[in-house]
Chain A
Amino acid sequence: MPSPMESYRRYLDPRVLDKLGRLELKARTAVEGFMAGLHRSPHRGVSVEFAEHREYVPGDDLRHLDWRIFGRTDRFYIKRYEEETNLTLSLVLDASESMSYAGPGQVSKFRYGAMVAATLAYLVLKNRDAAALALTDVGVEQWVPPATKPSHLLAITRAIDKAELVRRTDPGLVLKELSAKLPPRSVVAVISDLFAAPDRILAGVRELRTRRQDVIVFHVLDRDEIEFPFDRMTRFEGLEGLAPLVADAKALRLAYLRAFEAHQELIRKGCLRHGVDFQVLPTDTPLDVALTSYLSLRAKRGARR
């Protein structure tokens, strides 16, 4: 078992954090920018100020039951209050087998995705906002509920450490399952290679959107998957239980790229339709560059809004 410090370091590159920190100083706060667009909405949470009622669903905290309404109507209602914390960032990190792919000399997609998740969590926690993490494959494998304390980052990186990367992905199912768990009106960052049926992925995204979640999709890909640089007779051993294939890679390249790009395009368009940010993150792009550019873009947009 690695020490807490090690798992911490594994996903947080000091240089990245340094860069992001400077960004924060320079452009007011990247995180504020990151959370932009949510600030003007009233946030619900545990607060003295009552906001609304909603019907009880199993799993709700019984402390928030409104017994008076129960006495009047025999129905369970949950009292909801204005939240003191501004925001919850829910990180959904794909831990399926396909994420384990790493091109030569590159980190694996999962590792890269974990770094993205840890960095974002760091930024959010630093701003005293809440961060949550879900490690997913066919279902939600690990769930780290939202919290605001700085030590929560450690809980998140430990959870990531435990990932096994052996199962298949079903983002549709996962997102549906999560949508019930996540606090409403939070920011959900999905970090995945999205190797699944586009309609299942989009169905999950839609589910989140109907719950008023602000969704960001980070499409983590290896450069090999984008450009397919193979040119020899190759045996491709499929991950996630797919059949192996022996073929002249050169001959297959064009058709592969077509299929791959069509898939990505479908998802990109679907995200656009649902008002979801879609960001491709190739694993060979330095993390600071990738995140800085995305965050500053989002900050600008938030300012405009």
Chain B
Amino acid sequence: MSLSFGNGALLWGVLLLVVPLLIHLLNRRRYRVVRWAAQEFLLEAFKRTRRRLTLESLLLLLLRCLLVVLLALALAQPFVPSSSPLSLFSPAQRDVVLVIDTSYSMGRRAAGGEALLERAKAQAGRVLDGLSSERGDQVTVVALADPPRLLHSVTTDVARAREAVERLAPDWRGADLVRTLDYLTENVLGDAHKEVYVLTDLQRETFHPGASAAPESAAAAEAAATPASAWRVAAEHDCRFTLVDVGEEAEAHNLAVEELLPRPENVVAGEVVSFTATVRNRTPRDLRAVPATFVIDGQREQGRRVTFDAPAGGVAVVECSTIFRASDAARANHTVEFLLEEDDLPADDRRFLAFPVHQAVSVLLVDGDFAPEPELRETALLCDMLNPSLDPETGGTVFRLRVVDDRRFNGRAEDPADYDLIVLANVARIDAEAARRLDDAVRAGRGLLVFLGDLVDARSYNERLHRADGAGLLPARLLEARGDVREGSDAVFFPLVDDFQHPLLRVFSDPELRQNPTSVPIRRFFRTEVSSKDQATAVIMKLNDDPAAPGALLLEKPAGRGRVVLFTTTADSAWAGWLDNIETYLPLMQETAYYLTLPDLSLFNLKVGDALRRTTESIPAEVCVLRPDASRDPIRDTPREMEYGEFVLPAYRATGVPGLYGLELTYPLSGAGSDAGRREVEHFAVNVDVAESDLARVEEPAFRTLYPGVEVAFATEIDARQVEQAEARAGELWRAMLWALVGLLAAEMALAWWFGRQFRGGGA
């Protein structure tokens, strides 16, 4: 509690406290003497009343002391901040909390061309006009944002609060109402009465999150329910909520770029890649020939101008194709921007993408049944599937294959980290060192594709790749092989598919193609066992060998940043009828290889506010972030931790503005290997959350149904009269103190009279 005084010197008056004390003590010493005969009755009376007498005389003394102290305090003109419990006695002071919505929808331009946030600032200014620092009025400014921010902590400095409000600019993010209310509950609202003004556009995304999601989703319904309870908790404090609606009723001209992706996502030099932008038209009318620009690698002059039509409320997909040259693959990564002309809500009119371009996808095939002649190898058919066209006219192939025998792999002649995808085909066993390197490589982001066969030593796989605790790469523990491939045996099993939406099987999701994967005869396979604790492993294709416990044909497991796919049968036609089902095998292998080598675009593409993280193989001498406005922001910290054999650079969190960021890494000349003296820039794209671009609002009636029992006043303008009334009620704590003084005086007299009356008694 901070108590301040208008006239602190008068506080010395508290010392007058000794006056009643002295009177009390002197009174005890000044007595007359009586030689008294009836002493025994007096002694008895004294024994009986002593405690009460002492108490009463002390009470009176206390009251008198309090009187003096209060008088001294009152003369010193004290005033207290409203957070203090004493403020109850100075009702004239106002304690205002301004909660200003800074989500990017507040950047919307209203009819007059002014942004909604400017309106909010103007209204906030009116609230501040009604406050007076001299009176001890307090103000707190909080941004309704994600996460909520305290812009101006509780002070009586109204001018500084005004500055804080004036400085406000829209965030490039949404607003989290629940967190903001929780923040208010925990840090701002207290016992003292507060006036809370929430200045907002009442966007549905903020006030009814989940409303735009599928209504049947229970999670969305729950999310929609939480703000009400958070609000109720906040409203339990002594406060009055006023929602100041600064929103715009008129329909907005608003296009939002929701997505920008490369197709295919593994961009390989020499291959055609098309960038697709998904644009939602939130304007309630069809738009024709909307101009837009794709900018590739920042070449603005060479931006590709396109036009598209967008139906009202619908989505338009805009494409732009290109081919990256082999020399482009040398760069760390590339960028694409998709730009619309600015509309009423500019924040969602641009979208950025950063992605790597590969020279090719390098694949290491470890062949357990290796032969000098390529066509006799275990992996012969698989190689054909990955490189189907040997026609040089079509240019380079996506997959660059290298086939080695298992001795070479186990003998460390090959490093799995040098490849994007490693394939094990009928490899008998893996030694411990090879398994460790494989583990590191996969977890650092490579793909692993495992085929089994007659040479496979299940024990070695279980021990090295699956491991006793199931934490290894292999998705399942291998049991025994089932089925018979000898001549004359007609035992055969067929795959079962539950979900065609899995990326590996999506190519077969067309009803006409659905029988393709399920008609491949599988004559022999390894039965497997997925640990019950293993939540990550997914069985993508089953077999019809045992209706009660169907065997698994295709399993998948994520491992670190990489993925592992296991086929429980052979890569060639020894155990499975792949050769007669090329129309299944070819797309399945292509999809699998793509899937396992998909770049993790989330490494380079962040949402506003996300931390930028990067790992490097060696420690760079300098790290500098190139911000979208071309300023440079060096990171001075050095890596402190390692992940999968790489150094983790300190996270960069100042990504509050959308755009293309660069991470400039300069390696020392004395550095290790190929990195020595190298300087490279890796691009990162930071985008806004498009959910915020939906400008639908929660109007007052809808608000009342959404937040039943929450007491909130609605306003579009701050009432000037209210402000004047507040001004009229000037006063400080000393008034309350004087009243208390008068009360105490009356109490003292009444008590003294009452005590006296009691003793005098009516009896004699």
Instruction: Determine if B38 and A245 form an interchain contact, defined as CB atoms under 8 angstroms apart.
Output: no
Asked if B760 lies at the interface with its beta carbon under 8 angstroms from chain A, I say yes
Q: Which chain A residues (204-229) contact chain B, with CB distance < 8 Å?
A: 222, 225-228
Contact flag A237-B42 (CB < 8 Å), given A228-B764, A254-B758, A254-B760: no
Contact B42 A252 (CB under 8 A): yes
The answer to whether A252 and B45 have CB atoms under 8 Å apart is yes
Whether B764 and A237, one on each chain, are in contact in the complex, defined by CB atoms closer than 8 angstroms, is no
Q: Report which of A101, A227, A233, A236 forms a contact with B42, defined as CB distance below 8 A.
A: A236
Does A251 lie at the interface of the complex (its beta carbon under 8 Å from any beta carbon of B)?
yes
Stretch at the interface among B23-31, B583-591, B673-681: B23-31
B35 in the interface, Cβ–Cβ < 8 Å? yes
When distances are taken between beta carbons in the complex, the residues of chain B under 8 Å from A238 are 36, 39-40, 42-43
> How many Å lie between the Cα of A195 and that of B37 in the bound state?
8
Determine if A237 and B33 form an interchain contact, defined as CB atoms under 8 angstroms apart: yes
Contact (Cβ within 8 A) A109 B46:
no
Give Cα A141–Cα B759 distance, bound, in whole angstroms.
40
Given the complex of chains A and B, what is the CA–CA distance between A255 and B53 in angstroms?
11
User: Known: A252-B49, A253-B760, A255-B48. Is A245-B35 also a contact (CB below 8 A)?
Assistant: no
- Contact A259:B45 (CB < 8 A) given known A98-B37, A109-B37, A245-B39: yes
CB of A250 closer than 8 Å to a CB of B = yes
| Interface status of A232 (Cβ within 8 A of chain B) | yes
Q: Is B32 an interface residue (CB 8 A)?
A: yes
Identify the closest chain B residue to A243 (Cβ): B43
- Give the CA-CA distance A145 to B28 in the complex, in Å: 52
Check B44 for interface membership: any CB of A closer than 8 A: yes
Closest A residue, CB atoms, query B28: A233
Contact present for A230 and B40 (CB under 8 Å): no
Contact A234 B33, beta carbon cutoff 8 Å: yes
Sorting the interface of chain A by its residue count into under 10, 10 to 19, 20 to 34 or 35 or more gives 35 or more
Question: Taking the nearest CB of chain B, how far is it from the CB of A115, in angstroms?
Answer: 18
B residues less than 8 Å from A222 (CB atoms): 37
> Are B31 and A250 closer than 8 Å at their CB atoms?
no
Contact string against A for B residues 753-764, beta-carbon threshold 8 Å, 1 for contact and 0 otherwise: 001101111011
Q: Distance (Å) between the CB of B33 and the closest chain A CB?
A: 5
Contact status A236-B34, CB under 8 Å: yes
Q: Does A304 reach chain B (CB closer than 8 Å)?
A: no
Let me know if A257 and B37 touch, CB within 8 A.
no
Q: Report A246-262 residues with CB < 8 Å from chain B CB.
A: 246-248, 250-261
Indicate whether A239 sits within 8 Å of B35 (C-beta atoms), given known contacts A257-B763, A257-B764, A260-B41.
Answer: yes
Set of chain A residues within 8 Å of B42, measured between Cβ atoms: 236, 238, 245, 247, 252, 256, 259
A5 at the interface (CB under 8 A from B): no
A101-B45 contact given A233-B27, A250-B760, CB 8 Å threshold = no
Interface centre among B28, B46, B760 (most CB of A within 10 A): B46
Complexed CA–CA distance, A239 and B71 (Å): 47
B37 near A225 with CB under 8 A, answer: yes
Q: Name the residue on B nearest A227 (C-beta).
A: B764
- CB-defined contacts of A260 to chain B, threshold 8 Å: 38, 41
List the B residue with the shortest CB-CB distance to A253: B759
Q: Are A251 and B53 closer than 8 Å at their CB atoms?
A: yes
How far, in whole Å, are A234 and B36 apart by their CA atoms in the complex? 11
Taken residue by residue from 63 to 91, chain A's Cβ proximity to chain B (1 for < 8 Å, 0 otherwise) reads as 00000000000000000000000000000
Known: A195-B37, A254-B761. A259 touches B44 (CB 8 A): yes
Q: List, in ascending order, chain A residues with CB within 8 A of B45's CB.
A: 252, 254-256, 258-259
B43 to chain A: which residues have CB within 8 Å? 238, 242-243, 245
Asked if A239 and B34 sit within 8 Å, CB to CB, the answer is no
Q: Please name 16 pairs of A and B residues whose Cβ atoms are closer than 8 Å in the assembled complex, sorted by A.
A: A195-B37, A232-B31, A233-B27, A233-B32, A235-B33, A243-B43, A245-B43, A246-B31, A250-B759, A251-B56, A251-B57, A252-B42, A255-B48, A255-B759, A259-B44, A259-B45
Beyond the given pairs A100-B37, A232-B32, A255-B759, 9 more chain A to chain B contacts, judged by CB atoms under 8 angstroms and listed by A's residue number, are A109-B37, A233-B31, A234-B31, A237-B33, A237-B36, A239-B36, A250-B756, A253-B760, A254-B761
